[in-house]
């Protein structure tokens, strides 16, 4: 007898299968992870660190240029600020950033897509150890559903890594200063050796000409005395004169060989100094790139202005006094002017520069001093006239001036740090 509304089970090999409510497949319970968020959907506190850690100066320039920005006069800090500001909403710039970073870090985004919080934390620790922090930082920032605890941990550790990197920057600056000193000494030694080599070459050339002249003189005397018939008692023997000339020639040839040996040794030393100079140049270039990159990373990850602000918020900003400073550097090493700029702007100051040459008069220098808040003047890379003029103009216009014994990056950095401390 069948009960109304009940569908009997099917017997299959002794197992009862309820045809009305069949057991669903296990795959039916799987929930597909949500796709990655867009950059304008990520937590606002992560936009600045993500931009600073994942985009370099070339990325900023390409993105802003394609968006119609005039980037020629924009500093790295200004480009960073513009990009971070636009990352808060969907627009041409945020879309370009989103596409670029998702393509760049596609493998990492896919790798953590199905991980739980513990797995994501393990990937973050691994990235911090092996140098892949940027990729994991972005992947976590755009992953939906990340807990507040994990997000706070990632943001905090990224922030502190920026502080740690600051100490590494100072150490690299010190190494760079030492290498610059070694490089200058090597160049001076190389110049001295080249000058000595030229002198040796001139001496060898003169001795060679003298030896050739003596040979010609000896042949001429032999030719003149060949027709004469003289006895031993009447005149000196031609053989005697020849022996004397041969002795002089032997002495000159010995001196020639000595100078040739010195020249060969000098050339060998010259080649070694040239190779050492080339190596030092490569090391200097590498360290300069690292210093520039680390200064940029510090200024973006740690000292950057809040990304929500489009204009200076004045005294309520914790960096207001330093932001208000216009820093003028007079003199120094012109070739590393860009590193001076990075140091000043990383501290929030406005950079200005004068090379210290007074050939065009004092008007240009005076105009720059008048609109500056602090003047930094390294005396080791400046003329006495320029240093005296800086002190005179600063007294005239009541401007703060810092005279430094060195124009190195570390000396400039210490002056900026002292200025920041005194202002705050």
**pLDDT-based confidence at 298, cuts 50/70/90?**
very low
Place of tokens 């140091």: 343
CA distance 175 to 165: 15
CA distance 92 to 365: 42
**pLDDT-based confidence at 393, cuts 50/70/90?**
very high
Cβ neighbourhood burial of 205 (10 Å; 0-12, 13-18, 19+): exposed
CA distance 91 to 343: 32
Rounded to an integer, the average pLDDT of 116-126 is 88
Q: Please give the distance of CA 39 from its chain centroid, rounded to a whole number.
A: 28
The pTM of the full predicted model, rounded to 2 decimals, is 0.38
| Region of poorest pLDDT, from 144-158, 217-231, 295-309 | 295-309
Structure tokens at 69: 């920005």
* Residue 6 φ/ψ, nearest 5 degrees: -110, 130
pLDDT: which is higher, 306 or 343 = 343
Task: Tell me how far apart the 2 most distant CA atoms of the chain are, in Å.
Answer: 167
- The CATH code of domain 314-423 reads 3.40.1190.20
CA distances in angstroms from 82 to 88, 186, 345, listed in the order given: 11, 44, 15
pLDDT at 302 over 90: no
Residue 361: which residues within 8 A CB-CB, separation 6 or more? none
pLDDT given at position 40: 94
**pLDDT-based confidence at 1, cuts 50/70/90?**
very low
For the chain, the structural domain boundaries read 39-146, 172-227+235-301, 314-423
Ranked by mean pLDDT, which of 3-12, 46-55, 274-283 comes out on top?
A: 46-55
pLDDT given at position 322: 55
| Region of poorest pLDDT, from 111-115, 223-227, 318-322, 389-393 | 318-322
**pLDDT-based confidence at 248, cuts 50/70/90?**
confident
pLDDT at 2 over 70: no
* Residue 404 φ/ψ, nearest 5 degrees: -105, 145
Q: Please give the distance of CA 247 from its chain centroid, rounded to a whole number.
A: 63
pLDDT given at position 9: 47
CA distances in angstroms from 26 to 29, 40, 148, listed in the order given: 6, 36, 31
Which pLDDT tens digit goes with each residue over 326-383? Answer: 999 998 888 888 888 988 888 788 999 998 887 767 788 899 999 999 999 998 887 7
**pLDDT-based confidence at 95, cuts 50/70/90?**
very high
| Nearest 10 degrees: Cα torsion 278, 281, 287, 291 | -160
Counting residues of the chain whose pLDDT is more than 90, the rounded percentage is 18
Rounded to an integer, the average pLDDT of 164-191 is 75
Radius of gyration of the chain (CA): 39
pLDDT given at position 155: 83
pLDDT: which is higher, 380 or 322 = 380
Rounded to an integer, the average pLDDT of 213-239 is 66
Structure tokens at 51: 């931009």
| Region of poorest pLDDT, from 309-313, 332-336, 396-400 | 309-313
Q: Please give the distance of CA 288 from its chain centroid, rounded to a whole number.
A: 4
């Amino acid at each position: 007898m069948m009960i109304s509304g009940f569908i009997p089970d099917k017997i299959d090999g002794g197992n009862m299968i309820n045809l009305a409510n069949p057991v669903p497949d296990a795959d039916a319970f799987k929930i597909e992870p949500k796709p990655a968020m867009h950059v304008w959907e990520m937590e606002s506190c992560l936009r600045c660190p993500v931009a600073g850690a994942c985009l370099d100066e070339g990325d900023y320039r390409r993105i802003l240029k394609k968006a119609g920005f005039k980037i020629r006069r924009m500093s790295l800090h200004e480009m960073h600020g513009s990009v971070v500001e636009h990352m808060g909403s969907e627009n041409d710039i945020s879309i370009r950033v989103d596409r670029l970073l998702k393509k760049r870090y596609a493998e990492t985004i896919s790798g953590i897509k199905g991980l739980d919080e513990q797995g994501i934390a393990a990937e973050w620790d691994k990235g911090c150890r092996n140098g892949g922090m940027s990729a994991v930082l972005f992947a976590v920032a755009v992953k939906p559903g990340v807990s507040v605890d994990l997000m706070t941990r990632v943001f905090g550790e990224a922030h502190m890594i920026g502080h740690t990197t600051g100490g590494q920057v100072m150490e690299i600056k010190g190494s760079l200063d030492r290498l610059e000193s070694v490089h200058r000494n090597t160049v001076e030694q190389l110049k001295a050796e080249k000058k000595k080599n030229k002198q040796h070459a001139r001496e060898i050339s003169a001795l060679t000409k003298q030896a050739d002249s003596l040979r010609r003189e000896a042949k001429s005397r032999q030719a003149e005395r060949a027709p004469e018939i003289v006895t031993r008692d009447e005149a000196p023997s031609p053989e005697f004169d020849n022996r004397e000339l041969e002795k002089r020639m032997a002495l000159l040839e010995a001196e020639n060989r000595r100078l040739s040996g010195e020249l060969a040794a000098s050339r060998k030393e010259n080649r070694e100094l040239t190779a050492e100079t080339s190596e030092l140049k490569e090391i200097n270039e590498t360290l300069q790139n690292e210093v520039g990159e680390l200064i940029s990373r510090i200024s973006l990850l740690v000292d950057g202005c809040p990304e929500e602000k489009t204009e200076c918020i004045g005294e309520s900003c914790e960096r207001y006094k330093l932001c208000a400073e216009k820093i003028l550097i007079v003199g120094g090493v012109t070739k590393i002017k860009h590193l001076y700029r990075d140091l000043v702007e990383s501290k929030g100051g406005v950079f200005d520069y004068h090379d210290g040459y007074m050939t065009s008069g004092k008007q240009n220098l005076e105009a720059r001093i008048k609109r500056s808040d602090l003047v930094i003047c390294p005396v080791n890379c400046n003329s006495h006239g320029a240093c005296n003029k800086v002190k005179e103009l600063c007294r005239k216009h009541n401007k703060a001036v810092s005279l430094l014994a060195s124009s190195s990056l570390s000396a400039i950095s210490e002056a900026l740090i002292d200025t920041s401390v005194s202002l705050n």
